[in-house]
Structure 1
Amino acid sequence: MRRLYGKARIGWEAEIESQGLVYNKTSLPDGDVRSYWREDVFYDFSAAEIDRLADATELLFAACVEAGDVILGDERLLDRLRIPRDARDVVRASWDAEPPSIYGRFDLWWDGAGEPRLLEFNADTPTSLVEAAVVQWAWHLETGQGRDQWNQLDDRLVAAWQRNLSRWEAHFGRRPRRVHLAWTEGDPSGEDWMTVAYMADCVQRAGYEAVVMTTEEIGLDTGDARFYDPRGNRLEVVFKLYPWEWLLADEYGPSVVADLRWGDTAWIEPIWKTLWSTKGLLPVLWQRYENDPVVSRHLLPAFFGDDPRAAELDATGFARKPLLGREGNNIELVGPGGDVLAQQGGRYGAEGWVLQQLCPLPDFAGPDGPHHPVLGTWVVDGEAAGLGIRESDGLITDNLSYFVPHTIDHRAAWEQPGR
């Protein structure tokens, strides 16, 4: 694993925007504009290193499946994970029925030498998909950097929609007339919109009609208690880039739960993802696997904030994370002596906290400063499918962190390792 320097393509900004990365530029408070995509650097891996990451990803996914069974068998854990009591029956039924589930993303710590370690699992509404599946692949083909890239995302996503929608057809005895894909107007950057637009393209290539809309446009007919789009088409399959905890707390939340009890709407990602889309999954995994010599190598000790065992982390330092935070919001890194190393503000935390052993991101420092990568390994239809890297100047990955492409087996004579 190496951080290398390359050469920016002429007209690269227009190129990546044409590929869907319309949210590349971020305006900073001081008036400057920051590019989200890094064109001049990339990370390179050996094929053996990619195999190692893929194996760790699939091992962690299997561990999460076992953890789901553990959580559903323990009402106290369901309480701690803030799973609403009036939705638990549909969460259990959804888990047992295995309705369509398309994708998820593990965020891993790795320096290329030690064991990859789980930082968190983005199981419900992961983004950075367009840049991982499309933009960095086009960069690889156009620049000729590296012999390959770990990136089967596009083909796997199309195949996942085909398989899961075929299962829906077999279950209900008919073909869905269309698939609705919804994003929320609350995202001003365009990232959610482009993620949904790309997923809609995958649906169309899978052979189904796709309709893109906003979650605000979803309507409930109080007569038949069904959900419809603005044109009066009933929602049969709906992909929602909108977290389940938000949806369940909305005005229509009880109606969604009722629809899941007796209706035939497939909500993707399914409601059982509430078991994984909380950082409360981290202490559940640690409690389940801390004595497992294989799985524990890919975990960090983690505890709920009110667990007396959390005091064990005072000696090592810890990351304090809200159960339902996003984009690094409200994360606090505390060193062994109690000093705060880094922190982010935000609106999360009232739902509870998790403490995870401090594991500072590796620093692939270069002449332009520190560079701390987080490796996002993608799972599509339950299998490891690709890699996307977010890189930060500081120790917390947030919405200003860069996306950096990667290669496999780069051999350019002019390379300049950044580490």
Structure 2
Amino acid sequence: MLTSSGISGTANLEAELKLETGIFSMKVAGYTELGASLSRDATMTTFSVEAEVGVKGELQADAKQVTVTASAEAGVRGSYQVTLPNAAAAGITSPEQAAAQLNPSLPQNLPVGATVTLTGEAFMGTGMEVAFKNISGIFGAIGGMSTERASGMALAVTRLDDKTVRVTVGPTEAVSRTLEGKLGVFGIAFGASDTLRVEGQLSSRQVDFDISTPAGQAAYNRFLATGELPKNDPASGTSNAASVQIASETLTREVTFGINLGEAVLDSNVYVATTYDAGGPTEFQYTGTKGPVTFSVSGEWKDPEDPSTYTYSATLPRLASGTADGLRDLYPNTTGSGTTASVSFTYEEAQQVQQLARDWLSAIDQGLPGYQGNTPEPWVMDVANAATPEEAMALLLTPETNNVADVVANRMVRLSAFQFNNGGGQMPGSLTLAEG
């Protein structure tokens, strides 16, 4: 049902709104709000959108190597998903707004932070079948998949900022895992029937388009029509072309480069390594979960190892209001408001936090005033004795068996109190709060 704040509950609205937009003749037939539960940090809303898609005749010639009727059969609908920030989702209160703002052929209208994900299975018999067959060809050369198959392939379009959209393509599971690991878009269920694995790992490709320029918009339109992902070309508004490798569940040192979580045990994990065509260090992001908490380590891999670029962060959802206020008191420069906290530490700040735990143990060992006779709590000992900053941060920022995020926030408050009582300054790190 429609309310003053947007869509409430599950709404299925028939729009039948036909838009001649760019390369597409697209009829948005309906949209359904799936709720915020699909996101780990509860700050995103996911919509399912039904649409008929046809590629305009003048662009069909770009895909001659693929045998398919690009204009598609009349009345054939596909379904895709859009995940976007809650604030943007609340503003979508009509079918017309859904058609305009949740439409991959109008990337300039997508809210910043939104991701549109389409799969080949859902668009068999539509104009986009051409694109998915060409995407399968990119990976078929490696994995032996037939280029005549559109199923099992996916593409995702993410609005990074006012000027840029990032396209990620590949086997459906690879695209899903890439979004989980790099963007924090968790719990997406694509219903893929198969998965292409390359050399034991999942693999995808990405490229950024500058849609603020006519050349960049034209390059994006051509990609949607043909599925041919361009290379880096500043004149065409494309950049950051890269290969992405994804590993999950069982991570070895070879896969995770220098990441060593030691005694920290997480429920699930995704590791994403991005190697840019233009060269430079490989970027990585490890993302794991423990109960409701999401923990990540990101940075650049260099040989020999140089962890100075590493960043450690955690998202603590649904904190009690008093707990969130306590965290805000630690960080005068906190941005945002609400009860979902995102905390972040640089490599140097992580070392400082671990040293606080070590100093706390030392104060107890030495019997300093206020600490004489105290018994150190297990989490303080774990953080202090961790072999690496990433292990220390994982142990500090994830809950124990009770899986209560407030426990993690209260640890930080107590470390800050120890620092204050011993002549220290502000707690290392930064904090962002959001509703949810």
TM-score computed with the length of structure 2 as normaliser: 0.24
Structure ranking higher in strand proportion: 2
Which structure has the bigger radius of gyration? 2
| Structure of higher RCO (CA pairs closer than 8 Å, 6+ residues apart) | 1
